[in-house]
């Protein structure tokens, strides 16, 4: 699946687990910067800014090319960043804002490096967070979400709709297509067959593109 269609924060490829968000790391260092600060916090923030600047230049590339660029340019930057963190030693107060930023980055190094495993993954999960904003804003009014089953159903439905939306599908047409086709599948839970009904599949794009 092309990188611009990838919203999840977990990679489906073998060897990957949770993918942590670099925007959270940058935000923590930014919060640690004080007026006129020329110390450690701005350095941490600058490392993150440089990584995002690199990533910006690869937007729109196929996943394989994006991954190759990351291996060549982004990985050395990450290596330098984590090397800098380890070398800080006891030069910061653990409970300070800077300390929390450093400990957060060090504690999630594996997940933060996960983007180096798959070009479809993103450096930041901000798009995913924006996609669930409607759920966050409306959850107090959706009474059926007060049960676990209701919450699960809501999450599945919104995930389907949001994924269809970013793949430029007519949502009504796509849902009608799913409701008509899926009940007639010989084996409804066959994950291989279900691939043909995902929003980015060529058949769905042909039938339901807005």
Contacts of 160 (CB under 8 A, 6+ apart): 199
Give the model's confidence band at 4: pLDDT under 50 very low, under 70 low, under 90 confident, else very high. Answer: very low
* Mean pLDDT of the region 13-33: 81
pLDDT above 80 (res 9): no
Query: How high does pLDDT run on average in the chain?
Result: 83
What share of the chain in percent tops pLDDT 70? 82
Per-residue pLDDT tens over the stretch 30-77? 999 875 556 899 999 999 999 999 999 998 899 999 999 999 999 999
Using only C-alpha atoms, the chain has a radius of gyration, in whole angstroms, of: 21
Residues in the chain, overall count: 210
DSSP the chain: --GGG---SB--STT--B---HHHHHHHHHHH--TT--SHHHHHHHHHHHHHHHHHTTTT--HHHHHHHIIIIIHHHHHHHHHHHHHTTTSS-TTSHHHHHHHHHHHTHHHHGGGGT-TTS-S--HHHHHHTHHHHHHGGG-GGGGSHHHHHHHHHHHHHHHHHHHTTB-HHHHHHHHHHHGGG-SSTT-HHHHGGGSTTSHHHHHHHB-
pLDDT above 60 (res 205): yes
pLDDT above 80 (res 134): no
Contacts of 75 (CB under 8 A, 6+ apart): 116
Residue 15 is predicted with a pLDDT of 47
| More confident call, 115 vs 154 | 115
């Amino acid at each position: 699946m092309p990188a611009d269609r990838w919203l999840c924060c977990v990679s489906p490829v073998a060897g990957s687990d949770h993918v942590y968000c670099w925007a959270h790391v940058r935000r923590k260092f930014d919060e640690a910067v004080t007026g006129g600060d020329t110390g450690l916090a701005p350095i941490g923030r600058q490392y993150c800014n440089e990584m995002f600047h690199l990533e910006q230049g690869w937007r729109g590339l196929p996943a394989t090319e994006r991954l190759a660029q990351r291996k060549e340019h982004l990985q050395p930057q990450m290596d330098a960043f984590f090397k800098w963190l380890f070398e800080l030693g006891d030069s910061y107060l653990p409970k300070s804002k800077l300390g929390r930023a450093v400990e957060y980055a060090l504690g999630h190094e594996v997940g933060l490096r996960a983007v180096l495993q798959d070009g479809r993954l993103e450096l930041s999960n901000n798009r995913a967070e924006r996609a669930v904003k409607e759920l966050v804003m409306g959850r107090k009014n959706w009474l059926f979400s007060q049960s676990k089953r209701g919450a699960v159903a809501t999450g599945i439905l919104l995930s389907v709709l949001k994924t269809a939306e970013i793949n430029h599908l007519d949502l009504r047409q796509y849902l009608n297509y799913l409701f008509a086709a899926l009940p007639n599948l010989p084996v409804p839970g066959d994950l291989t067959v279900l691939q043909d009904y995902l929003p980015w599949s060529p058949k769905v794009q042909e039938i339901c593109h807005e």
